[in-house]
Each structure stands twice: as C-alpha cells, then as structure tokens.
Amino acid sequence: MRHTVVERELELRLILSPERSIPVPARLGYRTDDPYAVHVSFHVGSEHQVDWTFSRDLLVEGVFRPSGHGDVRVWPSKADGCGVVLVALDSPAGDALLQAPAGIVSAWLERTLRAVPAGTEADQLGLDDALDELLAR
C-alpha cells in the first residue's frame, strides 16, 4: 500500500507574555500510515528539533472550540484581528503556548482530510487484511 504524506512549513509564535512573542519555524506533518496522528516539528534555534505528536481529531476540533486536556490543549482565538489557533503544550521539560495562523492550519487539515476522511482512519491501517491473512493460515 502506498502512503501519502501531507506537510506544511509555517511560522508559529511562541507566546512569552501577553506583550511578547518570538517566531518559531515549524512543520506540520500527517502520514496516511499513521492516520490518527498529526506531527509537529519545531526548530527552536538548536541543532535538534522538538517533535510533538497528538490526535488529528484534537486539532480539527481545536480550530473551532476548546479541545484537549492534559499535555496538549488547542483552542481558537484572535490576534490583531486575525483568526489564530492556540496550542498549549505541557511536558516534564517545560510548557509552551504557541500561536498558529488559523487559515494555514485549517487549509492543511483539509488536505489531510482529503487524504484520509474522518472516520476512515482504521481502513488505512490494513487491520482487516492482516486479520484475514492470519486466519487463513
């Protein structure tokens, strides 16, 4: 089975305080061989990138209303009159609040949903084929 990758480079804003933020280059990634997850890689000025993986459904919902709890929370907001998506990440290494342009995130999510429509993720995993093969033995 051939797998599709949907990626998008973008600039996020790391919110340091209500008055201060800094740009953070990032990459959104989605792979049809991991259909339930989105992958975000942050390039934070070191030679090592920081990677986070979380539910695509959480991000889809978070574009419209507050979503998630625990390590990853996502919600829509406005900044300078423009729609943004805020992503709060909590880890033992620290916390981060990131701001992404809502239009870019929404357009990228639409591309992932064209690749694998919501509700069809399990079909991508080939579990039925693997089970049929196992039972045929």
- Which residues form the domain of 45? 5-136
- pLDDT tens for 17-41 read 989 999 999 999 999 999 999 999 9
24: CATH: 2.30.31.20
Percent of the chain whose predicted confidence (pLDDT) is above 70: 91
pLDDT value for 88? 96
How far apart CA 107 and CA 31 sit, in angstroms, is 16
- Identify residue 35 by its one-letter amino acid code: P
Q: How many domains does the chain have?
A: 1
Q: Is the pLDDT of residue 105 over 90?
A: yes
Give the full edge-to-edge strand order of the sheet including 5-17.
50-55, 37-42, 20-31, 5-17, 94-101, 82-91, 72-79, 67-69
| pLDDT on residue 74 | 97
Mean pLDDT of 94-108: 95
